[in-house]
Amino acid sequence: MKKKLLPPRHIAIVMDGNGRWAKEHGLPRIKGHEQGAHSVEESIAACLEAGVEFLTLYAFSSENWKRPQLEVQGLMLLLEHYLHHKIEEMNRHEIRFQAIGRLSELSSNIQEQLEKVRRATAHHCKLTLTLALNYGARHEMIDALRAIVGKVIQGALTPEEITEEVFSQHLYTAHMPDPDLLVRTSGEHRLSNFLLWQLSYAEFYIVKKYWPDFKKNDLLEAIEAYQQRERRFGEVR
């Protein structure tokens, strides 16, 4: 009997190219981000169809604050709008929503909206959708290190007890498995400070399309390509 090919349990996506898409279409950069929101819906649909359990999207990095103020403001408004209007849809599709990053540095309005959606969808388990907001992997690892050092100082943990597993348990992503597949759009071949620890053994899938042009079938193709790969995790097979 032919072995059934399983989808990746966890997909992480660097949604790149919104600004360049807008420029090529003669539009303001924020229009690229608005169009990119539709690609988020397409990717969610692909994950639901394929049976993916976790989808993590790099929505706003800790470095993105350096962008023009007007663009940042537009992104925050777009985020608020998305969160406000998607609770019903998430509940309908049994999607659990979460966010990771230094969320306390976001506006109080966004923090309240994030918590509202998280609470409203916490009982679902078909797909966990995680937005990385004000996220940087180096910040994440520093925050984890600070928490671990605090426990050592308090006597709750000894240096000898610090393992890879213990470190992982102090990351923002402690509640989910490491990604199996990383998808990056716009043809770039870099991690951009995204999930540096968690992506150690992930399969990479790079597409030249800008994020606004990335559709459901594109992610299904990425999943199919993943299913053809042999993951060895350093072993000889």
DSSP assignment of 147-173 equals: HHHHHHHHTSS-GGG--HHHHHTTSTT
Beta bridge partners of 203: 181
Q: What is the pLDDT of residue 16?
A: 97
Using CA atoms, how far apart are residues 165 and 68, in angstroms rounded to an integer? 39
Distances (CA, A) of 114 to 55, 79, 91, 102, 209: 17, 10, 15, 13, 29
Q: What is the pLDDT of residue 236?
A: 52
Burial of 41 (0-12, 13-18, 19+ CB in 10 A): middle
Q: What is the pLDDT of residue 5?
A: 84
49 phi, psi to nearest 5 deg: -70, -40
DSSP assignment of the chain equals: -PPPPPPPSEEEEE---HHHHHHHTT--HHHHHHHHHHHHHHHHHHHHHHT--EEEEEEEETTGGGS-HHHHHHHHHHHHHHHHHHHHHHHHTTEEEEEES-GGGS-HHHHHHHHHHHHHHTT--SEEEEEEEEE-HHHHHHHHHHHHHHHHHHTSS-GGG--HHHHHTTSTTTTSPPPSEEEE-TT-----SSSTTTTTTPEEEE-SS-GGG--HHHHHHHHHHHHTS---TT---
Q: What is the pLDDT of residue 105?
A: 97
Over the stretch 193-213, which tens digit does the pLDDT of each residue have?
A: 999 999 999 999 999 999 999
Give yes or no: 16 in active site: yes
Crossing angle of helices 216-227 and 29-50, in 10° steps, is 50
Give yes or no: 217 in active site: no
Q: What is the pLDDT along the chain (237 residues), one digit of tens a residue?
A: 456 789 999 999 999 999 999 999 999 999 999 999 999 999 999 999 999 999 999 999 999 999 999 999 999 999 999 999 999 999 999 999 999 999 999 999 999 999 999 999 999 999 999 999 999 999 999 999 999 999 999 999 999 999 999 999 999 999 999 999 999 999 999 999 999 999 999 999 999 999 999 999 999 999 999 999 977 666 655
One of 64, 143, 193, 213 is an active-site residue; which one?
A: 64
Q: What is the pLDDT of residue 234?
A: 60
Sign of CA dihedral 205, 208, 211, 217: negative
Q: What is the pLDDT of residue 223?
A: 98
Q: What is the pLDDT of residue 2?
A: 53
One of 16, 178, 180, 218 is an active-site residue; which one?
A: 16
